[in-house]
Every structure is written in C-alpha cells, then in structure tokens.
Amino acid sequence: MKIVIACDSFKGSLGSGEIGEAAKRGVHSVFPEAEVKIVAIADGGEGTVNAIVKQRGGEFRYCEVEGPLGDKVIAKYGISDHLAVIEMAEASGLTLIPSSLRDPLKTSSYGTGQIIMDAIRQGCREFMIGIGGSATNDGGIGMLQALGFRFIDEKGEEIGRGGKELAGIARIDDSGVAEELRDSRFTVACDVDNPLLGERGASRVFGPQKGADEKSVEILEEGFCHFSEIVRKYAGKDYSEESGAGAAGGMGFAFRAFLDASLKSGVELLLDGIKFDSLVEGADLVITGEGCLDRQTLSGKAPLGVLNRAEKAGVPVVAIGGMIRDEDLNDLEKSGFTAIFPIVNGPVSLSEAMNPVNAKRNVERTVKEIVKLWYI
C-alpha cells in the first residue's frame, strides 16, 4: 500500500511538512506497514524554495543583497545540482518595507538580480523563480541592472532605481551582460494573466497594492508605455500584451523580453521541480489540502495541481482542509476530488482551530478515518 501526502501549508497554523507528518501518523495508526510519501508543496510563492530543496535534495544559500529601497537584506535561495530556486520576495518583497514607506516609484527589483548573479557564480544555469509578493513596479529594470544591462537616458547617463526611472530610458546597452547569463534558462512562477499596460496592467491593478496613489499610478503607466516601446525596438517584438507580462510590477515582461523565460503556473512549476509525476507512480491514494478549501482552490492553487497530476496517473485524490466553504462545496466536488473532508469535527473558534497542537491532532484523526473508510 502506498499513500502520498501532498498538502500545502495551513497558513498561520501548520507548515506543509508538519501536516504531512501528522497525516502519516494517521495512516500508520491503521496500517503500520503502509508506505507513506510526504511531499511538501506550495503554489510558487512562500515555501517553494523549502519544498523543492527538501524533495530534490540540495542546499540553502544566503547572500547579502539590496532590499527594495536599497538597504541590505539577507536573502535565502536553494540550489539543487545546477538548478537555482529563488523567491523574489526574499530580496524585493512587500513585507520587507513598512507600510508607511511603500512607494513603487522608488522601490527596485535590483536585489533579485543580485541573487541570480550569486547563483550563476555558484555554477547554476537553470532557474526557477517565484515572483509573488513583490514590492516593486519597475518593469524588472532593477533586476536587469544587476545582471549587467544598462539603461541609458538622453544625456548618455545610466538611469537610477525605481519605477520613476522608466520614462527616462532612451536606449538599452547589453554589452556588459555575462555570457553565463545568456546560457541560462529561466522558468517563472506566474499565476496572473495581466498584461503590462492598461486597466488590467501592472500599474493600475497592482500599483495601489504597493503604495501608489492615483498620481503615482499615472506616472508608472506612462513610464511603462514608454519603456515597452523602447523594448519593442530593442527586442524586435512587443511583449507588453503577453499573458503575465504585468505580473510582479512588470517582472513577467522583463523575464520574457530580456531572458526568454517561460511563464508557468506556480504549482505546476513546483510539481515539475519536485518530480511529482514520478513520486505518485504506483500510489493507491493521494491526500492533498490547504487551510481553506473554496472556489479559489480551483483557480490554480496547489491542491488542484496535485489533483490534475494524480488524475493523469489514475490515482484517486482526497482533499482535507482547515475550513471548507459550504457555498463552494458543489464546485469542489465537481472538480474531481474523490472526497473532501474538513479536519475540525464540530463548532470551534478560529483560534482553537488554528492552534498548531489542535490542528495536528485534527489532521491525524481525519486521515485515520479516511484510510479506515477507504479500505473497508
């Protein structure tokens, strides 16, 4: 008997690995000899580096880089063989800045580029990068500056940092880009389909979330319109309307236009990275889940990705959740899950439900009952 446990974290309560261990205890309380594979998963954002390094083997590396406002931060990323796994938020994340200082006219993605360069110096030539949680709206120029690209203004001088600089770019100089970068391959976790410009673009949709007021949004939009035209002439192609170009304040645009990256669903990127298809081969059952199972689960979150991969392998999938929204249960059932279980067994306060001790106990008990029912 082989059972795969592949749950995303229950945010604010349990990590993916903790859920897996509790579920494993539940399985072994019924079938002590069962083979249980615990797979740490995430959706391309927080937890992606930990999940891939844990599953594939490898190491964590720490480097000092520029934060979004130029201050020094210590960023963590993972290396497995020649693959670097990077979360943009480690260097250029919104949580690195107090809310009172958030201003995408000033914030820069430079630190993300510094992580990439550090990984290149370690011999990495393949990159998986999650771009969620960014504090920036600079079109990726900060990252590109750290990689050796130079953005020159009308006076022949190199521009500074931040989204406010986009409108001043007159030409692009890539003569200083390392050959190693040109030999590298990039895959980017991108779960939004926003273009770079317009009402659904980076500035108008995501700018306010990062501290931009109405005036700043218009400055950023004008800057992007100008920058996209400069890039069109440089690259010979217009990338501004591509799905995901507006992600992370235009980082999707920068990765596509300058680094020929492929943009993929975050959970698909992670499942590829941990070689999930091989892990699920020969399994009798997969148990997945997340803190709240609702309609959003079906919009590309980790449990749906697990379901889709397991279905292709012909393996049934049961979902567990800290909470299940009744109004969304019908949609969840239609999606293909064999069964869906809440881990709480009665009315309980949110604080009690999220208490890690209680949550572990509830996961263990729920999985124990699932396995007993499954093999009646």
Contacts of 376 (CB under 8 A, 6+ apart): none
What does the pLDDT read at residue 53? Answer: 85
What does the pLDDT read at residue 326? Answer: 82
Beta bridge partners of 6: 288
CB atoms near residue 149 (< 10 Å):
21
What does the pLDDT read at residue 164? Answer: 97
- Could you state, in order of their start, the residue ranges of all structural domains in the chain? 2-41+275-374, 48-266
Distance between first and last Cα of the chain: 14
Q: Which CATH number fits domain 48-266: 3.40.50.300, 3.20.20.140, 3.90.1510.10, 2.130.10.30?
A: 3.90.1510.10
Structure tokens at 357: 């001790």
Beta bridge partners of 151: 172
Asked if 322 and 292 touch (Cβ cutoff 8 Å), the reply is yes
Asked if 203 and 214 touch (Cβ cutoff 8 Å), the reply is no
Cα separation, 109 vs 100, in Å, equals: 19
Cα separation, 178 vs 164, in Å, equals: 27
What does the pLDDT read at residue 45? Answer: 67
What does the pLDDT read at residue 133? Answer: 84
Written as one letter, the residue type at 112 is T
What does the pLDDT read at residue 289? Answer: 94
Cα separation, 355 vs 364, in Å, equals: 14
Helix/strand/coil for 59: strand
Mean pLDDT, each 10-residue run in order, the chain (376 residues): 92 87 96 93 75 85 97 96 93 93 97 98 95 93 98 96 97 94 92 90 93 96 97 96 94 97 87 89 95 82 91 95 86 90 87 91 96 84
Contacts of 324 (CB under 8 A, 6+ apart): 292, 293, 294, 332, 340, 342
Q: Which CATH number fits domain 2-41+275-374: 3.40.50.700, 1.10.10.10, 1.20.1260.10, 3.40.50.10350?
A: 3.40.50.10350
What does the pLDDT read at residue 50? Answer: 82
Written as one letter, the residue type at 126 is E
